């Protein structure tokens, strides 16, 4: 696994929700090895992001695309989600009509390969905004994952975020996660890919009243120690 040894470590990030109180997201660490941590790690720049969809997604239902910082329109252009400093990715289209479970990834947004220093812990920090409307009958999940090849296998870091249905709710109900984190620790230098993986739960149809709700994410800010 190129020096990436997986073990779990709990850390939590606060979540502000619309009318539902507090929700906790619990990221994890791959190969926590603090005894070898060094202060001189190299912070990578994540570039070359590319979107992939499995099957013919229903493009008329919205966007499945990246946006420059501050370029997203309503309802994704307000604080605390959009700080205006990071590019964003919006998963708003619906996959082909079918019944889905979260275990099946049907869309992803993947970075180009980037290098990690040895004996370092990397923190990927990002924001999420989920949007639910009256015509949503299925939910959506987003996970942060890494791999040494785009062919996988992909390993999830951080706690998967799952959107929530609000039946009979007003037109737009938003759930914000600010400062969500995913952690990755190395023992040797490695070259890896990072991706946001999207999956769904429930039956999605082609009619406007049989769609899934939406998730937007800011691309992660990377720090290391």
Q: What is the rounded distance in angstroms from the CA atom of residue 222 to the CA atom of residue 98? A: 36
Take residue 174 and report the two structure tokens written for it.
Answer: 């938003």
pLDDT value for 37: 43
pLDDT value for 10: 29
pLDDT tens-digit profile, the chain (225 residues): 444 443 332 233 333 333 333 333 334 444 444 444 445 799 999 999 999 999 999 978 799 999 999 999 999 999 989 877 899 999 999 999 999 999 999 999 999 999 999 999 999 999 999 999 988 999 999 999 999 999 999 999 999 999 999 877 677 899 999 999 999 999 999 999 999 999 999 999 999 889 999 999 999 999 999
pLDDT value for 97: 96
Residue 23 bridge partners (DSSP): 15
Q: What is the rounded distance in angstroms from the CA atom of residue 130 to the CA atom of residue 213? A: 7
Take residue 73 and report the two structure tokens written for it.
Answer: 């329109």
**Among candidate residues 118, 130, 114, 121, the one with its CA nearest the CA of residue 172:** 130
pLDDT value for 25: 39
Centre a 10 Å sphere on the Cβ of residue 179 and count the other Cβ atoms it contains.
Answer: 13
What's the pTM value of the predicted model, to 2 decimals? 0.82
All domains in the chain, ordered by first residue: 13-224 (2.60.120)
Q: Which residues contact 79 (CB under 8 A, 6 or more apart)?
A: none
Instruction: Supply the DSSP symbol for 44.
Output: P
pLDDT value for 2: 45
Take residue 216 and report the two structure tokens written for it.
Answer: 């937007």
pLDDT value for 113: 98
Q: Residues, the chain, total?
A: 225
SS3 state of residue 82? coil
R_g over Cα of the chain: 17
pLDDT value for 31: 46
pLDDT value for 84: 79
**Among candidate residues 74, 90, 107, the one with its CA nearest the CA of residue 215:** 90
């Amino acid at each position: 696994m190129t020096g990436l040894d997986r073990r779990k470590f709990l850390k939590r990030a606060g979540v502000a929700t619309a009318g539902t109180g507090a929700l906790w997201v619990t990221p994890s660490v791959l190969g926590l090895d603090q005894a070898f941590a060094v202060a001189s790690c190299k912070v990578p720049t994540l570039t070359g992001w590319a979107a992939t969809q499995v099957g013919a997604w229903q493009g008329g239902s919205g966007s499945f695309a990246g946006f420059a910082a501050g370029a997203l329109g309503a309802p994704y252009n307000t604080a605390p989600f959009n700080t205006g400093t990071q590019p964003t990715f919006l998963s708003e289209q619906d996959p082909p009509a079918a019944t889905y479970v979260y275990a099946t990834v049907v869309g992803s947004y993947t970075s180009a390969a980037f290098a990690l220093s040895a004996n370092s812990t990397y923190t990927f920090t990002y924001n999420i905004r989920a949007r639910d409307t009256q015509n949503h009958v299925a939910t959506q999940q987003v996970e942060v994952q890494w791999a040494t090849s785009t062919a996988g296998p992909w390993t999830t870091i951080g706690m998967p975020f799952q959107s929530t249905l609000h039946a009979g709710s007003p037109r737009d109900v938003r759930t914000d996660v600010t400062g969500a984190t995913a952690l990755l620790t190395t023992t040797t230098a490695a070259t890896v890919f990072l991706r946001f993986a999207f999956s769904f739960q429930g039956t999605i149809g082609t009619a406007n009243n049989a769609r899934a709700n939406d998730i937007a994410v800011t691309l992660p800010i990377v720090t290391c120690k």
